Amino acid sequence: MTLLKEIQPSTTQERKRFRLFQNRWWIGAIIVCLLVLGAVMFFAKGGQNVPRVAPQGHMTAPAIPIVAVAVKKGDFSVYLSGLGAVTALATVTVNSRVDGELINVLFREGQIVSKGELLAEIDTRPFEVQLLQAQGALARDQALLENAKLDLKRYQDLVKKDLIATQLLDTQDSLVHQYEGAVKTDQGQIDNAKLQLVYAHITAPISGRIGLRRVDPGNIVHATDTGGVAVITQMQPISVIFSLPEDNLTQVLGKLRSGAKLTVEAYDRDQKQKLATGTLLTVDNQIDPSTGTVKLKALFPNRNDELFPNQFVNARLIIDVKHNALMVPPEAIQRGPQGTFVYVVKSDQTAALRPITQGIVQEGTSLVTSGLTAGELVVVDGADRLHDGSKVEVSAPNSGEPAPQRQHK
């Protein structure tokens, strides 16, 4: 500034040039100051991301966030899966065995009925008339029979005295046999009429759940009707027929021959909810050549009506149970040039690469036969950023909270 003040132009044109030079100098000075300030702020902010230098002079890397779970120990079920359908052990269409007017329906649709329970009634008056007629015919023929027997006895006495011809005796004896046959026929008519009266009361042939009513009171029903009055389906117990590949047949038959009682579990379509548990009943006697599968039949108590006839289910035949097995999620298992391995979280919050031997994977759980112990923490998320010895920050699955640490002795 002193220098500028000392240099004072003498002419008007020089004064204008001097003022222009003076303004440009101030603008340049401001720009330089702004650039210096920006550089200072940039390097000050960037320095926060630079790893701190430890007192020993080594760089300390930030902890890598990961998700870890503990190795579980318990029973591991080995099963075979197949698509199946619920099948009732018995389904009966309730028909009338006589012709007549349906006058009364005693069941409620969807009701559980017992064998022999009265379901409906047909007008019995025609059968009562038939019974009365048959009883009258029987009384008449019985009276004729008694009279014919008395005459036969008289003829026998007269023949002994040689008062009548033997031919009359033979004729009377034949007449007695005719009346005896007539009496038996009348008795049959009576029994038939009584049976029609019984059939006029329609009862449940089996125990089970009755369906919708197919005939209303007031209609004339016939023994030849195919629709029937209703349908009864046995619900308890109930069966499930499912298919398995023919390659599993030897394994299943081997278990059955040894006397093992195999458990079958029925799951819904999504294989998430277990509906019921039963036992394997039998195996079909042939393989379907078009699909290469064999059918199996399982029996379920179905005490709470968990299963319904014709319902599609996913059947799981438990073929074996591994006791005291070590289990981890399949996401924890990694594969590389060194084989199958997992990252184990150590007590100092570092990850250690651990080779393992993997077994069967089922139901989102992997069996580990060697390489781990129960309670160790294995990494299930974030393993792609790890290497042996990486510093980690452990969180529990589906949360941001730290996972429980294993106690090291």
pLDDT in tens, 327-354: 999 999 998 887 899 999 998 889 999 9
Q: Where is pLDDT greater, at 165 or 1?
A: 165
CA distance 277 to 300: 6
CA angle 151, 157, 159 (to 5 degrees): 100
Considering the four listed CATH numbers 3.40.50.300, 1.10.1270.20, 2.40.420.20, 1.10.760.10, the one that applies to the domain covering 64-75+324-395 is 2.40.420.20
Question: What is the pLDDT of the chain when averaged over all its residues?
Answer: 86
Give percent of the chain above pLDDT 70: 83
Strand, helix or coil at 62?
coil
The CATH number of domain 124-199 is 1.10.287? yes
Local confidence band at 221 (pLDDT 50, 70, 90 cut-offs): very high
CA angle 143, 146, 130 (to 5 degrees): 30
| b/e burial code for range 157-192 (CB count within 10 A of at least 16 → b) | eebeeeeeeeeebeebeebbeebeebbeebbebbee
In sign, the C-alpha dihedral spanning 55, 57, 62, 63 is: negative
Give me the sheet containing 220-221, strands edge to edge. 201-203, 118-122, 100-105, 220-221
Cα separation values, 62 from 50, 93, 349, Å: 10, 75, 12
Local confidence band at 12 (pLDDT 50, 70, 90 cut-offs): low
pLDDT at 239: 96
Q: Where is pLDDT greater, at 19 or 46?
A: 19
Unique residue bearing structure tokens 């009732």: 88
Local confidence band at 39 (pLDDT 50, 70, 90 cut-offs): low
CATH architecture for residues 80-89+233-321: Beta Barrel (2.40)
pLDDT at 35: 73
Residue 302 region by backbone torsions, left for phi larger than 0, else alpha for psi between -120 and 50, else beta: left
pLDDT at 2: 45
Chain centre to alpha carbon of residue 338: 41
Own/partner long-range contacts of 39-46 (Cβ < 8 Å, ≥24 apart)? none
Residue 20: pLDDT over 80: no
CATH architecture for residues 94-120+203-232: Beta Barrel (2.40)
Local confidence band at 51 (pLDDT 50, 70, 90 cut-offs): very low
pTM: 0.66
Residue 53: pLDDT over 70: no
Both structure tokens of 172:
């009377």
In sign, the C-alpha dihedral spanning 279, 240, 300, 316 is: positive
Across the chain, which distance is largest between two alpha carbons, in Å?
A: 198
CA angle 41, 44, 47 (to 5 degrees): 145
Local confidence band at 215 (pLDDT 50, 70, 90 cut-offs): very high
Question: Tell me, what amino acid is at 124?
Answer: T
Local confidence band at 19 (pLDDT 50, 70, 90 cut-offs): low
CA distance 136 to 193: 13
Q: Where is pLDDT greater, at 10 or 52?
A: 10
Ranges of H-type helices in 118-275: 125-160, 166-199, 249-257
pLDDT at 409: 35
Per-residue pLDDT reduced to its tens digit, 59-83:
566 888 989 999 999 988 889 999 9
Q: Where is pLDDT greater, at 177 or 388?
A: 177
